[in-house]
């Protein structure tokens, strides 16, 4: 009797699951297996919010398998050791799993392949279980990835996707394979109060409801902080309770500008994964080196704490950070502006912010999180390093009525008009009665500091080029200026056309900043 093992990792579903379909088609009995990898715990990625969502997903997956005559086998420990043990217990001759792009996942796959080959067992790794288009599928010959989104999206959109697979009708599991108990959300402490429920059934219900309703306004309102027209499907994509391939197909069938805009965001997800697949070091190292001298964590300790706790004195920043702590999730526009505030206004290393997000986000995906942070910080792909988001202007644009701020910053719930985004306009006695902190930084001073440090970075980079090429600084500057003028004169594209694109959402802009001084209760000058 032929027996296979299907290893579930970040693909915790039954619908459209290529490894599961291949395992069932190729064997008489199949062991559905999930291993809680101890290395993930040791690396600090197993944080409470994601563990709770994971527990929901595993319970839902087990229930779905039992409806079909099977069950989920759960183990804990070193993934390679546990898979090999299950293979031996079941007498399996093949293991099926989905591909992944993180450095840890790639090393783990290599170890598993060597261990199984030593026992004469085949490992089958399936693409497009966790992406719509596999990393490398649209990469030009001679390159290992694409670094600019617009040409990537053009190729991605032309790629023919495989059909989505139906969930299996029956799963037959061999006898004699033991399992540890399923984890329970109730056993996990320090959870965000508003954490969403996990599981494939929950994800499918949310997807269906969204495609029937709010997707129609997604193109116009996906940056609306108060209305929140987003799908909130990112946790389900992270844990794989929903298939990216199925999402693209269903969105395209729904049609309309909103669905098209949503598909573009799914392409952004694939874009980041193909970058990380080729450059796994980008999870911790600058994709593009800027030679920035970030403020040390010790120097910026108080500012970092205020940013994390949502008490910077800038209401929209504080609202977004408080939403993160309460829900384990944050609106994408909030992610962009809070990241800009930390890196461009406070001049704190992007890794500090990325680490904090991964500590709380239920959808904390290494590829999306790290590369979006790098994009904002100016060290990533397709970036505009000197662009700064003004939190006041962003608030006026994306929370014009102040509903988002009033929800998450209760100190300002009773404030009407522009003062909800700029409480420093209130009289001193009213502002003092709110119990809301004064701004921790003067935006104008923060911007001036950022520009000064950026200029210093440019000078040091030119000095390095001078040393490497034996040219004077003046010669290098002249060459750069001539190149800029040549590009400007030779460009025939409209001013609104660009090959650089930000993470999900419209391209942010730099805006003049109000003058606010630390520790003073004065209006902007």
pLDDT of residue 367: 97
Q: What is the pLDDT of residue 518?
A: 39
pLDDT at position 467 is: 52
Task: Give the model's pLDDT for residue 349.
Answer: 96
Closest CA to 336 of 400, 384, 270: 384
What is residue 289's predicted lDDT score, i.e. its pLDDT? 83
Cβ atoms within 10 Å, residue 245: 22
CB 123 within 8 A of CB 32: no
pLDDT score for 462: 53
CA atoms of 197 and 202, how far apart (whole Å): 7
Q: Tell me how crowded residue 28 is: count the other CB atoms within 10 A of its CB.
A: 11
The burial class, CB within 10 Å (0-12 / 13-18 / 19+), for 396 is middle
**0.75 surpassed by pTM:** yes
The sign of the CA dihedral 437, 441, 444, 446 is: negative
CA distance linking residue 437 with residue 318, whole number of Å: 10
Question: Which string of DSSP letters, residue by residue, matches 280-294?
Answer: GGGGTS-SS-----P
- Ranges of the chain whose pLDDT falls below 70: 291-292, 454-525
The first and second tokens of residue 352, run together, are 């500090």
Q: Which domains does the chain have, with CATH numbers?
A: 3-130 (3.40.50.620), 131-164+200-278 (1.25.40.80), 283-489+497-525 (1.10.579.10)
């Amino acid at each position: 009797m032929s027996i296979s093992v299907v290893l579930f990792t970040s693909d915790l579903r039954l619908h459209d699951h290529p490894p599961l379909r291949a395992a069932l088609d190729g064997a008489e009995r199949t062991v559905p297996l999930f291993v809680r990898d101890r290395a993930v715990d040791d690396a600090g990625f197993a944080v409470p919010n994601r563990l709770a969502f994971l527990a929901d997903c595993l319970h839902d997956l087990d229930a779905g398998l039992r409806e079909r005559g099977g069950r989920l086998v759960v183990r804990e420990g070193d993934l390679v050791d546990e898979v090999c043990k299950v293979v031996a217990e079941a007498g399996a001759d093949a293991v099926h799993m989905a591909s992944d792009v993180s450095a840890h996942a790639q090393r783990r796959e290599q170890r598993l392949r060597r261990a199984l080959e030593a026992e004469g067992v085949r490992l089958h790794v399936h693409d497009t279980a966790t992406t719509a288009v596999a990393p490398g599928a649209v990469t030009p010959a001679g390159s290992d990835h694409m670094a600019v989104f617009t040409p990537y999206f053009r190729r991605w959109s032309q790629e023919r996707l495989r059909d989505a697979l139906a969930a299996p009708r029956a799963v037959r599991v061999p006898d004699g394979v033991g399992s540890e108990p399923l984890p329970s959300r109730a056993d996990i402490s320090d959870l965000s109060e508003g954490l969403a429920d996990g599981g494939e059934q929950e994800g499918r219900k949310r997807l269906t409801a969204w495609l029937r309703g709010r997707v129609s306004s997604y193109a116009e309102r996906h940056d609306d902080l108060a209305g929140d027209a987003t799908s909130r499907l990112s946790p389900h994509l992270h844990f794989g309770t929903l298939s990216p391939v199925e999402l693209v197909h269903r969105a395209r069938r729904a049609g309309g500008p909103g669905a098209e805009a949503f598909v573009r965001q799914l392409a952004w997800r694939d874009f980041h994964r193909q970058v990380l697949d080729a450059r796994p070091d980008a999870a911790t190292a600058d994709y593009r080196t800027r030679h920035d001298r970030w403020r040390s964590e010790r120097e910026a300790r108080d500012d970092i704490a205020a940013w994390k706790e949502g008490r910077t004195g800038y209401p929209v920043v504080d609202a977004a950070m408080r939403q993160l702590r309460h829900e384990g999730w944050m609106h994408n526009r909030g992610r962009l502006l809070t990241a800009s505030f930390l890196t461009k206004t406070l001049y704190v290393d992007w890794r500090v912010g990325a680490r904090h997000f991964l500590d709380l986000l239920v959808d904390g995906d290494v590829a999306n999180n790290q590369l979006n942070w790098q994009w904002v910080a100016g060290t990533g792909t397709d970036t505009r390093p000197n662009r700064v988001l003004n939190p006041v202007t962003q608030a006026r644009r994306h929370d014009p009525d102040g509903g988002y701020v009033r929800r998450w910053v209760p100190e300002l719930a009773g404030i009407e008009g522009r003062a909800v985004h700029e409480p420093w306009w209130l009289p001193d006695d009213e502002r003092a009665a709110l119990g809301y902190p004064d701004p921790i930084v003067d935006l104008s001073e923060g911007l001036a500091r950022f520009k000064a440090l950026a200029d210093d970075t440019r000078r040091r980079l030119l000095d390095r080029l001078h040393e490497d090429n034996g040219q004077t600084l003046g010669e290098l500057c002249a060459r750069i200026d001539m190149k800029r003028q040549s590009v400007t004169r030779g460009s025939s594209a409209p001013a609104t056309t660009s090959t650089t694109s930000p993470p999900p959402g419209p391209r942010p802009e730099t805006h003049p900043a109000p003058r606010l001084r630390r520790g003073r209760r004065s209006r902007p000058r």
